[in-house]
Amino acid sequence: MGRTLKHAVVIGASLGGLCAARVLSDAADAVTLYERDELPAGPAQRAAVPQGRHVHLLMARGAQEFESLFPGLLDDMVAAGVPILENRPDCIHFGAAGHVLGTQHRLQDEFTAYVPSRPHLEWQIRRRVLALPNVTVLRASVDEPVFDGQRVTGVRVDGATVDADLVVDATGRGTRLPVWLEQWGFQRPREDTVDVGIGYASHRLRLPEGLVAEKVVVAGASREQPLGLGMLYYEDDTWTMTTFGTGKIAPPQDFDGMVKLAAEILPAHIGDALEHAEPLGEVALHKYPTSRWRRYDKLDRFPDGIVPFGDAVASFNPTFGQGMTMTSIQAAHLRRALQEPGESLAKTFAEATAKSTYPVWTMNAIGDLTMHRAQGAMPWWYRPVGNLFDQFLGAAESDPVLAEWFLRRFSLLDSLYMVPSAKLVGRTIRHNMRAWTAERREKVRSRRSRETAASVPARSA
């Protein structure tokens, strides 16, 4: 990519800002990345990323995208002890919407996934960005972008003005860009929201070796069970266990309560293993009330010189584990938009981001609104699609082809659209019909044998 910009500024050095800075390092002579939080020298929690204390699942697609931005990242993570898992039954326990998938059969077309903790992944990426010769990372809180009446021309930091051809807003879901737009005489973006009412409670722990072969344990919430749990085995030989509640139902708030929930909703060997767990540190709590998609793609007017990025555009229900991967996909959009900006870089980027956000946002909304007690606008077709999907997942419990298809799409591989082909829908219907017929036959058989048993003493009397 040719360097068409003199100076680009990125606000926020979390995963979004780091990815944006990496892309901009190819398009600008100089990039300055501002972060208000202290950036630790190694893999450590940061105050401004409280979500780092809770399970962070890196989707297989996210790993691929990050690797393309930072070649060698995955090998370095594995060398540093990050667990690697082929998507095999013994590595994963995966429950979604009350159905347990992929644990009984070896999947046919395995894929590789990586399980870094959030602080480790962010540090691996941060140290690569810090090593880029034309990127400077500064600890400072950006007051606001500078708008000259036509376009954004830089940022104001500690009262001083810093000029920039392009400013990327990677300040996360709490971005102030909608307010600034209004102050500059533009409209705020429409916000699509789903009130998911999620509460998180997490604890680090250590388990005696050999008790749990799985490295990823997921038990999503369902219609009947509003509480869920994720347990990931990380590079420092510890586990993080996150329990969560959906629809404003609080998860257990202490370690004993979490272990009790695990015993109820996880396979017995994991529940039993947790009886021997050594809890580490304190419980961490987090509330995530609302998934939010700011529709910059729908605005008629938008100033040149600024681009919103990462969670500042779309923040997804964290229990689906998609945020970092969707951010990495936005990085690919930003690269393309910088290469071919069309009439406006921001518009080209916003439209590409909307295109990749739509299928993932919609499927999450269907799941949340039809199964997880969320509140929000619901088109009439969400419920039938939600029911069909329930059928699909039911069949996927014992059909490895369907399970594999689901797990690949859930990992955002192959396509972002969770829409099974007609062939797979047919397979689901046949599978469920066979199961239904077998169940009915079994019921009839056991009723007959009960009747026969009841009639024997009568005859012999």
Least distance between ligand FAD and beta carbon 220 (Å): 12
Binding region for ligand FAD (CB under 6 A) out of 84-92, 167-175, 376-384, 410-418: 167-175
Count Cα atoms within 13 angstroms, Cβ side, for 299: 23
Residues whose CB falls within 8 Å of the CB of residue 443, separated by 6 or more in sequence, listed in order? none
d(CA 34, CA 51): 20
Is 399 among the residues that bind ligand FAD (CB under 6 A)? no
φ, ψ for residue 279, nearest 5 deg? -70, 140
Among 32, 87, 124, 171, binds ligand FAD (CB under 6 A): 171
* CA distances from residue 416 to 73, 109, 169, 325, 393 in whole angstroms, order as listed: 24, 18, 25, 11, 18
Question: Of residues 283-302, which lie at the interface with ligand FAD (CB under 6 A)?
Answer: 286, 288
Is 449 among the residues that bind ligand FAD (CB under 6 A)? no
Question: Of residues 181-220, which lie at the interface with ligand FAD (CB under 6 A)?
Answer: 200
Among 153, 240, 246, 322, binds ligand FAD (CB under 6 A): 322
* Beta carbons within 10 angstroms of residue 86's beta carbon: 12
Of the pair 92, 402, the CB lying nearest ligand FAD is at 92
d(CA 154, CA 167): 7
Binding region for ligand FAD (CB under 6 A) out of 130-138, 308-316, 366-374, 400-408: 308-316
Of the pair 230, 420, the CB lying nearest ligand FAD is at 230
Least distance between ligand FAD and beta carbon 313 (Å): 8
Is 317 among the residues that bind ligand FAD (CB under 6 A)? no
Size of the site for ligand FAD (CB under 6 A): 36
Is 153 among the residues that bind ligand FAD (CB under 6 A)? no
Among 7, 56, 215, 373, binds ligand FAD (CB under 6 A): 56
Show contacts of 402-407: CB within 8 Å, 24+ apart. Answer: 402/427, 402/428, 402/431, 403/101, 403/102, 403/105, 403/107, 404/102, 404/107, 404/108, 404/109, 406/96, 406/101, 407/87, 407/94, 407/101, 407/102, 407/107
Per-residue string for binding with ligand FAD, 2-31, x by CB under 6 A?
A: ---------xxxxxxx--------------
d(CA 265, CA 105): 20
- Which residues are at the interface with ligand FAD (CB under 6 A)? 11-17, 34-37, 48-49, 51, 54-57, 141-142, 170-172, 200, 286, 288, 310-312, 318, 321-325, 327
